[in-house]
Amino acid sequence: MRIIAGEAKGRTLYAPQGSQTRPTSDKLRGSLFNILGPRVEGARVLDLFGGTGALALEALSRGAAFAVIADNARAAVQAAERNARAVLGEAFDARVRVVKADYRSAIAGLSGAPFDLVFLDPPYRMVDAYGDALGRLDAACMLSEDCLAVLERQKAAEAPLPDGFECIDSRLYGDTAVDFVRRRQGSFPRL
């Protein structure tokens, strides 16, 4: 596993042993970021269920301004922090925050400007987590007006979305599906 492009291109990423963390493949990540294109530049990124942090770190390498990586597995958080320090060096403290918490606690602890790009890649068995996380983020006013959420899921499973959100594109990569989700046009954040 490595950073595909940007200022940290080629940097090797560490993944913990075992099956608890399921890193997004280099091929899928490269394709995903080709689709996202210039949307990443200057973005505030949230990587819930962050695992190794590969998605957030790829975004930072490609010009995202700041990222939060959250996971509840100790080994994943250690891997994400190790990877972030290797990728960002002295910029670690200014550009990333790594949080050990389940997604509900992580969302409850968020503050600051809303996010422009959100990655949701929970364990495949947690199909309700996609909609629940988006609903909680929306209620906490942590999604920018034009925020794009990227949901990585098992192809055979549906990811139910909360009211006011729509899937604008979906791509298949073997047994994995990636959905691009945003607020439905005319739907505004709750105040």
Per residue in 129-185, pLDDT (tens digit) is 999 999 999 999 999 999 999 999 999 988 899 999 999 999 999 889 999 999 987
Cβ(118)–Cβ(90) below 8 Å: no
| Domains of the chain by start residue, with CATH | 26-183 (3.40.50.150)
Looking at per-residue confidence, does 111 or 188 come out higher?
A: 111
Residue from 71, 58, 56 nearest 20 by CA: 71
Give the tokens for residue 43. Answer: 């973005």
For residue 29 the two structure tokens come to: 């990540």
Q: How many CB atoms lie within 10 A of CB 168?
A: 12
Q: Chain centroid to CA 166: how far?
A: 18
Return d(Cα 142, Cα 2) in angstroms, integer: 29
pTM: 0.90
Poorest-pLDDT segment among 5-19, 49-63, 71-85, 127-141: 5-19
